[in-house]
A and B are shown apart, each in its own frame.
Chain A
Amino acid sequence: MRSMKMLGVLIVSLLITSSAGLAAEKQGGILRMYHRDSPASASIHEEATYSVNVPFMAVFNNLVMYKQDVAQNSIDSIVPELATSWAWSDDKKKLTFKLHQGVKWHDGKPFTSADVKCTFDMVMGKSQQKFRKNPRKAWYNQVEDITTNGDYEVSFNLKRPQPALITLLASGYSPIYPCHVSPAQMRTHPIGTGPFKFVEFKANESIKLTRNPDYWKKGLPHLDGIEYTIIPNRSTAILGFVSGKFDMTFPTEVSIPLLKDVKAQDPKAICVVAPNNVSTNIIVNRASPPFDNPDIRKAMALALDRKAFISILFEGQADIGGTMLPQPDGIWGMPKEMLETIPGYGPDVKANREEARKLMEKAGYGPNKHLPVKVSTRNIAVYRDPAVILIDQLKDIYIDGELDVVETANWFSKIARKDYALGLNLTGNAVDDPDQAFYENYSCNSERNYTKYCNPEIEKLFDKQSLETDLNKRKKLVWEIDKQIQEDVARPIIYHSRTGTCWQPYVKGVTVMVNSSYNGYRYEDVWLDK
């Protein structure tokens, strides 16, 4: 009798739980967000800003992706998507994916392994069709070729083992494109297999997506659509959110001071502050005087008071670290004790600057002979503001900085011509993985290694960590590399910023990724409790 009662209670509880579960995920509704700017195009593969990922990631699927409800992207949070499974060959030089069958593109054509091959052949620059721009070609430098085995199996054949390849494939930057649609069309009217279909993109006005009724993941997405209103003016956008015109802010776009305004005007709004894996750093022209002198470079690194930057710009809410995003949100950041052994990272700023002044005096500068330097940066607040603080801090070590603001149109060409002494720069990492960060920014042959820092010994270590399959061993190698890079003043990292995302309480299923702002916008699990 007692067991019957227990069974009854269990059944009732199960019914309540399941009905609550049903009620928990309501279908329908349009998610209204504002967008911070008008993206150049709708083609994720051709752009290098998350202004494109945020609205258009929901149009596509990847082979694999970072689990969308896990905040920290890691190799453990990668789940199959268009792939049903993946496997490495014994020599770790072949990565094979089995693919879902019955998946259709938004135009009704079937998805096959040929589409995967097409996509990555195009990314690697090996196909007849070319992207207008191809910013992540270097990600796949270690891929020899891609082969298919029937319609539902595809293999990436590597030149050498690269365990981190899977982390790159899981990024929001790695969607699968259809073979039968041209790159030009993908820029204006993208076709994907994802939870939402593209409806329209009116430049400077709006982006609209609608539910894909034939989505291959049954029961998803929950929303009927997503609409982005493009509002470049932050004040107007935030007022729009607090007045209820929008259900959610543009992800990771609410600055810390603005966050206070939002909470004051709309106390019920849910706001999450998280690192976005964007570092603010100094690019140093080490090829010409005065920064060809290692003492002056070291003095500059010693002059940095990182806490002051963070206190002024982020009200204390940002992180100090090396190239890799600091732990616990980042996976590869150096431990604090190790970080503080690097010149300029020690807590005693006065002592650091005293040492810096001695180095400057050794180089021939002093209280009566200051070093005039132009500090170049983009004419955008997130660049300009820290540049001004940097100039102020450099005064303490006899360096008279002059702000040189450069329009975006001229920034890259100026840097490429080496027409700068010091530059204040922002570097975003799409995935929290050393392969991306090290090769892209510090490798001797990388186009994005603006300072042309080149250390063959470090280069060997890049490969060593890239080949390492043991996570803990790889971490230690990464820490050593990062420490060496910072000590070489290759591209001094000032801070890793944190920003906020807010949404109304009835928006459910949103997860803000804590170590990348490029990968969490599939939005198939998001729903509105209205």
Chain B
Amino acid sequence: MGSIDQYLDLYKENRDAINAHSADVLNSFREVAFNAIGDNQLPKRGAESYEKTSIDEMFAHDYGVNINRMDIPVNVAASFKCDVPNMSTWMSFIVNDMFHASLTSRHKMPEGVIVDSLSRVASVSPDLVAKYYGTVAPLEDTGVALNTLLAQDGVMIYIPRGIKLEKPLQLVNIFSSPIDLMAVRRLLIVLEDDAEAQLLVCDHTQDSEHKYLSSQVVEIIIGERSRFDIYDMEESSATTSRYSRLFARQATGSNLLINSTTLMCGTTRNGYDIDIVGDGCETLLAGMAIGTDHQHVDNCSNINHRASHCHSSQLFKYVLDDESTGAFEGSILVAPNATYTEAYQSNRNLLASTSAKMHTKPQLVIYNDEVKCSHGATTGQLDAAALFYMRSRGISEKEARLMLMQAFMVDVIDTVRMEGLRDRLRHLVEKRFYGQQMLCGECSVSCHEQKS
């Protein structure tokens, strides 16, 4: 018995309704997913690579699932704008789990580029979705199978061969509902060969009265010599849980940057599985997490080097205060044929209180000799010498601590390849450390009402 059973029952009882409000391509996966789950349970705390986070517990609450695709009325959300100064984006929204295009979302977008509801694309161009959907996220993984079983919609991003987007795409995920809700979110991102795109994803929770769970699977397929940046910023609430799985497959000569920020959350588990199948790829995976109160942030990465002359680098940093807890498990696997691999991993953490806890487990498995690899993890406190130096110049202990905590995150922020966003992140981190609540109305990415 486990928390997955209630979702399996939900599926069995509502099979037809689920299918009726989705598309054939997505529906064709459900029975396979159902069978793949079989008697499997969601990972419990202590399971392999889930040592500090129980997904089973995360899904145990009786969340509503919007199977009949009711349009949940959202006041602010429908006209919500997450604006990054000095940066114009093509912006779309996912309200709970429903895709909403905004006025700016298609303006002057190059021919052939798709940014749309996944089920709509699956209905209009079923072959395109069928070609990629479910090809990088494995159904043997129970979490992925559950998402596949219930996902009725999501977002499809498709960049045709040779297209280089001049502006970043932006996706704003919003939770807002009159009941406790689980959103089944699904992203399918495809870059054909020689394409370039940047995507900023912001997760927000609009009210703190209800409990929310986001079950998210992101599939990214990157063509040869393509370049893709994804910036994933969670600024939700203490009542929000997030189980996110990101799977990427990189073809020859491609370049992938994943930058993940957990500014505010309840319980978050992010998984990153990168499959490097083509020679000469670059992969940069960077993440930071700021924990206060009882927040829990867990990042888990698997970088799978299966081709030669590839370079991957990982940097994860946590600052944990109060009773917050963090976990990082990262593994690099270098296959026998992945010669001349360079793979690095670093996890550094600051504990700002005596009760915050960090669990870290870096792993490296190498099956050939022609590699340069390293991994390292440190967990410590603020540098006492720096603190005293600052205080001796008149900077109060509190201010000095805040400055040092911000400074600690600088190299993660510096991995961002968009200047406007880098400045914004710096500002957001500063605001977060100074304890200002990040409610949407006053949210630091400055939310304006947009007349549509």
Partners in one complex: no
What residues of chain A have their CB less than 8 Å away from a CB belonging to chain B? none
